[in-house]
Amino acid sequence: MSRPASRFQTQTPWTPLPYSPLHETIWQFLCTASLVFGAWYLGWRWLKSINYDALWFSIPLLIAETGSFIGLVFFTVNLWSAKSPVRGPLPVTARDCSDDPDMPDRPVSVDVFVATYSEDPELVRVGLQQSKKLTYPHPINLQIHVLDDGKRPAMEAVAREEGVNYITRSDNVGFKAGNLRNAMSATSGDFILICDADMHPFPTFLEETLGYFRDPKVAWVQTPHWFYDIPPGVPLPAVLERRLGAFGRGIGRAFERIFGAVQIGEDPFANDPQLFFDVIQRRRNWANASFCCGAGSIHRREAVMEAALRQWSDQVAAAAGRNEKAARQLTGEAAIMDSISDAMRWQSALEEEFQPYKFHVSEDIYTSIVLHSDRERGWKSVLHPVVQSKMLSPNDLLSWTIQRFKYAGGTLDILAHDNPLFRRGLTLPQKLMYGSTFYSYLSPIWNVIFLVSPIVFLFSGIAPVSGYSLDFFLHIAPFLLLNELSQLVAMWGNSNAKGRAWYLAMFPLNLQALWAVVRGQKISFPVTPKDRQVGTYGRLVRWQIGLVIVTLSGLAWGWFSYGTAREGYTLGAMIANTLWGLSNALSMLPVIRAAYWEPDPEHEAAIAEGALPKGI
């Protein structure tokens, strides 16, 4: 093995955070205190701090603060408890996963679906080879299928060479969801393991997940995504040692003792999903509301098919009802003959698509909502916190933008057309959990106001509050302090700083997605590129660069105005808006850096030589 690739051999997935009742109690106390002080602050803002001389400025900011606080309430509910279902012993036969007394006492059968469209067949080959290494301590019927929507002879040849089944179709209706539906009609396994083209399941995947299915109500189990091609970075002490020798190493170690480990040159795109899976998704288990994220999930076929049949039946009945109403209005008859009514129902059945996986750009979360809302069967989901696969991450800002626009637009489209908060069948905790997800994509509405507000003050001297007095700081400081402390405890072991910066900095992308949904624009199904795109992407961050420039210019003007005693530029106002403006500007830097990021040559060599970790 060459030297440049050696350091990538040590990359391993994270270890899930252990559950601690004491830790959870401390978090729940702090977050409750944070919300209490936040409500106290907002009440004061609405009643006593409005600047009536600048309502055009004061009211929008106050509405934005209120909207953000509602999001914090949703987020707190999401993180309330880390309690998760207990995994049962591995099923020996299919009967162990069912409450049907007539279920045959036969080995469990699993279909592995590897969905592909335009990806390199050789990339898919590696995933197929890894899938064939899946292990299980009991007899099991394992079938691997390539689901090729690209209809490529080269992909069919790879499937044949690897000894796996090749499935394609005559059209591409429904894109990935349609691809999965087509494969379901050609297979019959008890469970379906969904893999993307670049996903490599670990041999232990089935051993880690099938135990949950001893509960006949468990519909699917989602495992975390782990990106094995993320640049690991270099520890801060090592970087400083190169420049300053032993003295620099000492400074770096002292800094890390206080602030934790720092990796220079690590993933510039905030692709590390541990925060999402090990904290956010995992803490939805208590409410039975962790949703499917596509790849890395295993599904009970019965649940997917039964929920789809029930939804299809409801859609057919609804369509037939609309047609009968239209016929009565047309003919003036009070009732329609049974034969005509039956014909209308039959026609509706022919016209309605049967969709085991919802035909949607976000088919994974949409299907999750459908299953969770089936109150009659009471289907359950589980987020299993242990990483059981690896996959490729977006390695340039263009690929990252394509992926995130699809996520944002797809989620907002569901919010607009099938809002889970009003969907029958979902429990209140489930609605709150889904509400947290959907509400977060409305954040650009108030984030833009938060980004612009300090700029408006710095250039005009007009304050959005009645005054930056001691009373203002006494109300806002406890809330901000308790909020930071509670988030630190809730995410113990995870850094939220980079994710929060990207959350704020991606306001142009999220606004574009929101505007597309408002205009009724169809969100497309682009495949996220698996290869790094050559070049830099300054055009994608022009708004962020402009915001930094304008904010810094505003700070210069504001302090000049304060020094010359211009009206409105008090010391309290300057301190508050300087900290605010600098925080906004610093939040733009990660995405700007990502636009101009070029990979470490060692990292490129490691990928090219296939030296990234080959298995766990």
Asked if residue 261 has pLDDT above 90, the reply is no
For the ranges 121-130, 332-341, 605-614, which has the lowest average pLDDT?
605-614
pLDDT at position 376: 85
Q: Given pLDDT bands bounded at 50, 70 and 90, which one contains residue 337?
A: low
- Predicted confidence at residue 326, as pLDDT, reads 57
The DSSP secondary-structure symbol of 465 reads: B
Residue 22 has pLDDT above 60, yes or no: yes
Q: What is the pLDDT, as a whole number, of residue 182?
A: 87
Whole-angstrom distance between the N-terminal and C-terminal Cα of the chain? 19
Other C-beta atoms within 10 Å of 548: how many?
19
What's the predicted TM-score (pTM) here?
A: 0.84
- Alpha carbon distance 73, 357 (integer Å): 31
The rounded mean pLDDT for the chain is: 84
pLDDT above 70 covers a percentage of the chain that reads 82
Q: Specify the pLDDT at position 616.
A: 42
pLDDT of residue 7: 43
Provide the b/e sequence for 96-124 (b: ≥16 CB within 10 Å).
bbbeeeeeeeebbbbbbbbbbbebbbeeb
3-state class (DSSP) for residue 11: coil
Sheet holding 140-148, edge to edge: 165-167, 140-148, 108-116, 191-196, 297-300, 218-222, 380-383
| SS3 assignment, position 517 | helix
Measured distance CA(446)–CA(63) in Å, rounded:
8
Token output for 538: 């300054």
pLDDT for position 429:
94
The pLDDT tens digits for 168-193 are 998 877 778 888 888 988 999 999 99
Q: Give the dihedral of Cα atoms 313, 317, 319, 320; nearest 10 deg.
A: 130
Mean pLDDT of 222-243: 82
478-511 pLDDT, tens digit per residue, is 999 999 999 888 877 666 777 788 889 889 999 9
List for the chain the helix, strand, coil content (%; round to 5).
60, 10, 35
The closest of 68, 41, 57, 70 to 454, measured between CA atoms, is 57
Mean pLDDT confidence for 450-479: 95
Per-residue confidence (pLDDT) for residue 577, from 0 to 100:
97
| Average confidence (pLDDT) over 285-298 | 93
Per residue in 542-564, pLDDT (tens digit) is: 999 999 999 999 999 999 999 99
Q: Answer for the pair 613, 287: CB distance below 8 angstroms, yes or no.
A: no
